[in-house]
Amino acid sequence: MIKIKDVAYSSNTQLVISLSVLLTFLFLSFYYIWDVGLGRINSDGATYYVLALEMLEAKSVFPPGWAYVNGDLMSFGKPGVIALMHLIGIDGYLSYQLASAALLIFSAVIIYSTMREIGIVVPFAILAASIPMIPFSDAFMFHANDIGSYLVRFIHISLLLFLIIKLTSRKLKDGVFYVLLGAFTVLLFIIFSENPRRYVVYFLVPAMGAIVYYVAVTKLSATNQLSQVHMTVAWGAFPRIWLVLVLGFLSIFGSLFFYKKLEIINVDWASAATLSPLSELPERIANTLYGLGYLSGVNWAAGEKIASASGVTSIIKLLTYPLALFAPIQYTFKSMRALEFPQAFYCLVAVIGFGITVLLLSATSLQVGPLVESERYIRYVFPFFIMVLVCNFLLWKYYSILLKGILLLAFVVASISAVQSSLNWSSDSSFESRLLFVKKLEEKGVSVAYAPYWHSHIYTLLSKGSIQFRPISLAGTIQPFPGFTSKQWYANVDTDATIAMIVPLGMETKLLSALESSCYQLPSEKYSIAEYEVFLFHKDPTTDLFGRHIPKVCIGANSRHTVGKYDAISRALKTDSIDGRGFLHYGPYVDLACGRYVAKFDVSNEMANSPSDLEIGFVDVVAGLGKNILGHSAIGANSGVIEVAFEASKGSMEGMEFRVFSAGVAEMQLNSISIESEGLCSD
Q: Which of 228-232, 467-471, 649-653 has the lowest mean pLDDT?
A: 228-232
- The whole-number pLDDT of residue 545 equals 60
- The whole-number pLDDT of residue 169 equals 82
Q: What is the mean pLDDT of residues 152-175?
A: 91
The pLDDT tens digits of the residues spanning 591-634 come to 787 888 999 999 987 665 556 567 889 999 998 888 889 999 99
Q: What is the mean pLDDT of residues 634-653?
A: 83
Query: Is the residue at 543 inside a domain?
Result: no
| Position 549 pLDDT exceeds 60 | no
CA atoms within 13 A on the CB side of 289: 11
- The whole-number pLDDT of residue 226 equals 32
Q: Are residues 309 and 340 in the same domain?
A: yes
- The whole-number pLDDT of residue 231 equals 36
Core vs surface per residue 649-669: b (16+ CB within 10 A) or e: eeebbeebbbbbbbbbbbbbb
| Position 99 pLDDT exceeds 80 | yes
In this prediction, residue 9 has a pLDDT band, given cuts at 50, 70 and 90, of very low
| Position 208 pLDDT exceeds 90 | yes
Residue 12 structural domain: 4-423
Contact predicate 413/320, CB 8 Å? yes
Q: Residue 656: give its domain's CATH number.
A: 2.60.120.260
Query: Is the residue at 550 inside a domain?
Result: no
What's the CA gap between 521 and 220, in Å, rounded? 76
Query: Is the residue at 459 inside a domain?
Result: yes
| Position 520 pLDDT exceeds 90 | no
Q: Which of 367, 389, 423 is the last residue of a domain?
A: 423
Angle between helices 341-363 and 281-296 (to 10 degrees): 120
Q: Are residues 628 and 488 in the same domain?
A: no
- The whole-number pLDDT of residue 427 equals 59
Q: Which of 377, 399, 423 is the last residue of a domain?
A: 423
Tell me how crowded residue 359 is: count the other CB atoms within 10 A of its CB. 12
In this prediction, residue 88 has a pLDDT band, given cuts at 50, 70 and 90, of very high
What's the CA gap between 473 and 483, in Å, rounded? 11
- The whole-number pLDDT of residue 8 equals 44
In this prediction, residue 227 has a pLDDT band, given cuts at 50, 70 and 90, of very low
Q: Which of 517, 537, 557 is the last residue of a domain?
A: 537
| Position 289 pLDDT exceeds 80 | yes
Q: What is the mean pLDDT of residues 648-654?
A: 75
Query: Is the residue at 553 inside a domain?
Result: no
| Position 225 pLDDT exceeds 50 | no
Largest CA distance in the chain: 111
In this prediction, residue 539 has a pLDDT band, given cuts at 50, 70 and 90, of confident
* Terminal-residue alpha carbon distance, the chain: 70
Q: Are residues 238 and 116 in the same domain?
A: yes
Query: Is the residue at 545 inside a domain?
Result: no
The mean predicted confidence, pLDDT, of the chain is 85
Q: What is the mean pLDDT of residues 262-287?
A: 85
Q: Are residues 108 and 47 in the same domain?
A: yes
In this prediction, residue 334 has a pLDDT band, given cuts at 50, 70 and 90, of very high
Q: Are residues 594 and 454 in the same domain?
A: no
Query: Is the residue at 542 inside a domain?
Result: no
The 8-class DSSP code of residue 474 comes to -
Sign for the pseudo-dihedral over CA of 100, 106, 112, 118:
negative
The pLDDT tens digits of the residues spanning 476-500 come to 678 788 888 887 777 666 556 788 9
| Position 223 pLDDT exceeds 80 | no
Domain count across the chain: 3
Phi, psi (rounded to 5 degrees) for 560: -85, 135
What's the CA gap between 371 and 360, in Å, rounded? 16
Phi, psi (rounded to 5 degrees) for 342: -60, -45
Q: Are residues 343 and 269 in the same domain?
A: yes
Q: Are residues 273 and 405 in the same domain?
A: yes
Q: What percentage of the chain carries pLDDT values higher than 70?
A: 90
| Position 224 pLDDT exceeds 80 | no
- The whole-number pLDDT of residue 650 equals 72
| Position 237 pLDDT exceeds 50 | no
Contact predicate 526/474, CB 8 Å? no
Q: Are residues 223 and 308 in the same domain?
A: yes
What's the CA gap between 580 and 394, in Å, rounded? 86
Of 436, 544, 567, 557, the residue nearest 490 (C-alpha)? 544
3-state secondary structure of 125: helix
What's the CA gap between 470 and 446, in Å, rounded? 13
CA atoms within 13 A on the CB side of 160: 27
| Residue 342: cis peptide before it, omega within 30 degrees of 0 | no
- The whole-number pLDDT of residue 80 equals 95
Quick one: three-class SS letters along 412-464?
HHHHHHHHHHHHCCCCCHHHHHHHHHHHHHHHCCEEEEEEEHHHCHHHHHHCC
Opening angle at CA 147, ends 141 and 152, nearest 5: 95
Core vs surface per residue 495-506: b (16+ CB within 10 A) or e: eeebbbbbbeee
Query: Is the residue at 556 inside a domain?
Result: no
Q: Are residues 276 and 226 in the same domain?
A: yes
Q: Are residues 43 and 169 in the same domain?
A: yes
The pLDDT tens digits of the residues spanning 407-439 come to 999 999 999 988 888 877 765 667 888 889 999
Q: What is the mean pLDDT of residues 63-68?
A: 88
Q: Which of 42-51, 55-64, 218-227, 506-515 has the lowest mean pLDDT?
A: 218-227
Q: What is the mean pLDDT of residues 51-57?
A: 93
Distance from chain centroid for Cα 44: 6
Query: Is the residue at 350 inside a domain?
Result: yes
Q: Are residues 416 and 444 in the same domain?
A: no
Q: Are residues 570 and 512 in the same domain?
A: no
The pLDDT tens digits of the residues spanning 295-307 come to 999 988 788 888 8
Q: What is the mean pLDDT of residues 220-234?
A: 38
| Position 450 pLDDT exceeds 50 | yes
| Position 449 pLDDT exceeds 60 | yes
